[in-house]
Amino acid sequence: MSPIRPENRGRYPGNWKTISAWIRNSRALGRCECEGECGTGHQGRCEARNGQSHPVTGSKVGLTVAHRDHEPENCDEANLFAACQRCHLAYDRDHHAQTAAQTRQALAAGGMEPLFEMGSAS
């Protein structure tokens, strides 16, 4: 259900399912907790509710849990918020763009790609 990318799977704690369920069900009561952090422009708290039609997209909402600092290791409840797919994707989009270059470098360091732009300082 939650969009955990394969390369990040090992970064989540063993009790992530419990934490995630508590945030979504107990704290957020099945509602998206985004209050505009995602930047999609909704006024006040997002109206999306788990299992119901999304107020904007109309597709069924599967509530996820997002990390405010984008670090899966940081599962402090203050760092987590329940988010519908739309808010979660929008919230992470900028971050993904920022880290795309780092990801490519990491892949290159792992031998996946030749190192074109590194090492010129030597």
Residues of this chain that bind Zn ion (CB under 5 A): 32, 34, 38, 46, 48, 84, 87
Least distance from Zn ion to the Cβ atom of residue 21, Å? 18
Q: What's the helix, strand, coil split of the chain in %, to 5?
A: 40, 10, 50
For residue 115, what are the contacts with CB-CB under 8 A and spacing of at least 6? 108, 109
Instruction: For residue 118, give the DSSP letter.
Output: S
32 vs 65 by CB, closer to Zn ion: 32
CB crowding 55-85: b at 16 or more within 10 Å, else e: eeeeeebbbbbbbeebebeebeeeebbbbbb
Query: Token digits for 53?
Result: 């039609």
Least distance from Zn ion to the Cβ atom of residue 39, Å? 8
Cβ(40)–Cβ(86) below 8 Å: yes
Least distance from Zn ion to the Cβ atom of residue 91, Å? 7
65 vs 87 by CB, closer to Zn ion: 87
Least distance from Zn ion to the Cβ atom of residue 66, Å? 10
45 vs 104 by CB, closer to Zn ion: 45
47 vs 105 by CB, closer to Zn ion: 47
